[in-house]
Amino acid sequence: MSGLVSLMLSGVMAATPTTPLPWFEMDDYPVRAFERRQQGVTTFELLVDPRGKAANCAIISSSGSDTLDRKACAVAIRKARFAPALDANGAPVYGTYRSKVTWALDPDNWAQLEAGPDIEINLSKLPDDSTQPIDVKFAYLVGANGQPDGCTAVGPVHPKVLDALGCKQLTSNPQRAPSAVNIAAPIVQTTWIRFAPTR
């Protein structure tokens, strides 16, 4: 457990958008897709470089329309800016940021959210006698060797007892969030974990 504690105390920070959500407006809807009444949810992942710039975009889950998916990446790369991910020493490193946009013909149904939850951990009893699932975002550094080298719970507010459970899952188990990024450099990735009561 002491190794896990040192991983958790590492102070790894995720790439964080400085451009407020949503990045998408109705004007971003591709005319051809709108005319064809194409709708759906595009989940994408941005590779954020150590300067905080979106360097690449990959589709994690398609809306069913190549036009909408390509537009999601184009808009995100053009509009999104970030505070870069930081390693345990506070040095900027590559990071990932996953989001999803709901393309809808009705503007009231538009939405952009962070992607997740990615993993569910069932507990016989949730902390603080909670009966509702608790979603927590974790940032973890993956070294150039592909091994986890740090983990931090980054929010939202939650019972701190869940930090160790989530970091243990991410650092000792290969089940993590889907990622389209494969670079030979340290990178801070994120995963949303849902802590839910056993059914």
Q: What is the mean pLDDT of residues 42-57?
A: 95
pLDDT recorded at residue 171: 81
pLDDT recorded at residue 31: 95
Q: Counting Cβ atoms within 10 Å, is residue 181 exposed (0-12), middle (13-18) or buried (19+)? A: middle
| 48 vs 127, more confident | 48
Residue with tokens 């920070």: 13
pLDDT of residue 7 exceeding 50, the answer is no
| Number of domains composing the chain | 1
Cis amide linkage into residue 117, ω under 30° from 0: yes
pLDDT recorded at residue 92: 96
User: Tens digits of per-residue pLDDT, 164-174?
Assistant: 999 988 887 65
User: 169 is in which domain, residue-wise?
Assistant: 2-197
- For residues 80 and 73, the answer to whether their CB atoms sit within 8 Å is no
pLDDT recorded at residue 181: 64
If pLDDT is split at 50, 70 and 90, which confidence band does 70 have? very high
What's the farthest any 2 CA atoms get from each other in the chain? Answer: 58
**DSSP-derived 3-state class of residue 189:** strand
Q: What CA–CA distance (Å, rounded) separates 139 from 175?
A: 14
| 181 vs 23, more confident | 23
